[in-house]
C-alpha cells in the first residue's frame, strides 16, 4: 500500500512537471499567438521571412483605420467559424511538423497547394464581392482544367513568392 502510494506520488509529481514544462514550451513557442489573427504570428517561423517581408510591402498589409486591410489569415483561411478553425488546426499541425522535422527538405521557394489555392480564390471573392460578382467571367470555371484564378493576374497583391 505504501509502495503504491509512493508510486502514485511519483506519478503526480511527474504529471505536475509535465504540465509545467508543457505550459512553458507552449509559452516558449508563442502558442497563444496562433489563436490570434495577427500576421506577425505567421512570421514566428523564419521560413516565412521573405513572404512576410513582401506582404508588408504589398497593398494588403497597408493599414486602414489602424488595421491592415487583410492579414495572412484573411486570404489563407476560410472565413466561416468551423471551417476556419479546422483549417487552422490542420495547417498549423502540418507546418509545425514540417518546421520541426523536415526543415532541410523544404524548398527555398514555397508553392501553394491546391487546397490553399481554392481558399485564396474564395477569399478574393469574399472581400471583393461587390466588384467580383459583376466581373467574374467564364474562365474562372472551377471545372475547367487550369482555369484562371484572381491571382493568375493579380499575382503580386499579397506577396511575390510562393504562388
Partner 1 sequence: MKKNILRLGIIILVLLILGVLWLNNDIEQKKKDEANKNTIAISADPSLLSDDDPNYERWGKVFPEQLDMYLKVEKEKPQATEFGGNLAYSKLIRFPQLTILWAGYPFSIDANEERGHFWVQIDQMKTARNNKDFLNAHGFKAFKGQPTACMNCHSGWTPWLIKNVAKEDFVAFNSTNYWTMMKNIPAANGIIENSPQHAGAHGGKRMGVTCADCHNPSDMSLRITRQAAINALVARGYEKDSIQGIKASREEMRTLVCSQCHVEYYFKPTGEKVKVMGESIADDSSKKWWDGTQKTYDEYEFWRDGNKAKEIQTNGIILTFPWDDWKKGQPFRIEMFDEYYDKIRTIFGADFIHKLTGAPIIKIQHPESELYSGGVHALNGVTCADCHMPYIREGAKKISQHNITSPLRDINSACKACHKQSENELRDQVKDIQNIVASEQRTAEYALVSFIMDIKKLREKLGTMEQFQIDNKPDETKISAELKDILELHRKSQMRVDFVNAENSTGFHNPREASRIIFQAIDMARMGQAKLLEIANANNIKDFQISNLGFEDIQKLNPGELYYKVDVNAHKAGERYYENEKDVNINPPEELLKEDKNLSPYNYKFIDKK
| Residues at the contact surface with partner 1, assessed by CB under 8 A | 3-4, 7-8, 10-11, 14-15, 17-18, 21-22, 24-25, 28-29, 45-47, 49-50, 99-100, 106-109, 111, 155, 161, 163
- Give the angle subtended at the CA of 124 by the CAs of 60 and 59, to the nearest 5°: 15
Count the neighbouring beta carbons within 10 Å of the beta carbon of residue 104: 5
Residue 62 or 155 with smaller CB distance to partner 1: 155
In terms of Cα–Cα distance, which of 49, 81, 50, 55 is closest to 70? 55
- Tell the smallest beta-carbon distance from residue 24 to partner 1 (Å): 7
CA–CA gap between residue 142 and residue 15 (Å, rounded): 51
In terms of Cα–Cα distance, which of 115, 97, 93 is closest to 106? 97
Residue 109 or 141 with smaller CB distance to partner 1: 109
- Tell the smallest beta-carbon distance from residue 7 to partner 1 (Å): 5
In terms of Cα–Cα distance, which of 100, 74, 99, 68 is closest to 88? 74
CA–CA gap between residue 38 and residue 20 (Å, rounded): 27
Residue 50 or 74 with smaller CB distance to partner 1: 50
Residue 17 or 86 with smaller CB distance to partner 1: 17
Residue 40 or 80 with smaller CB distance to partner 1: 40
Q: What is the DSSP letter of 1?
A: -
Amino acid at each position: 500500500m505504501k509502495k503504491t502510494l509512493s508510486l502514485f506520488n511519483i506519478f503526480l509529481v511527474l504529471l505536475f512537471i509535465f504540465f509545467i514544462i508543457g505550459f512553458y514550451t507552449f509559452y516558449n513557442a508563442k502558442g497563444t499567438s496562433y489563436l490570434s489573427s495577427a500576421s506577425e504570428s505567421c512570421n514566428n517561423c523564419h521560413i516565412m521571412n521573405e513572404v512576410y517581408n513582401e506582404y508588408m510591402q504589398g497593398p494588403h498589409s497597408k493599414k486602414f483605420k489602424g488595421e491592415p486591410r487583410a492579414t495572412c489569415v484573411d486570404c489563407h483561411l476560410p472565413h466561416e467559424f468551423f471551417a476556419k478553425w479546422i483549417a487552422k488546426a490542420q495547417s498549423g499541425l502540418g507546418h509545425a511538423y514540417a518546421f520541426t522535422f523536415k526543415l532541410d527538405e523544404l524548398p527555398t521557394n514555397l508553392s501553394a497547394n491546391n487546397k490553399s489555392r481554392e481558399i485564396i480564390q474564395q477569399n478574393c471573392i469574399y472581400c471583393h464581392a461587390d466588384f467580383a460578382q459583376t466581373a467574374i467571367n467564364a474562365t474562372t470555371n472551377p471545372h475547367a482544367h487550369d482555369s484562371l484564378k484572381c491571382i493568375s493576374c493579380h499575382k503580386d497583391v499579397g506577396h511575390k513568392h510562393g504562388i
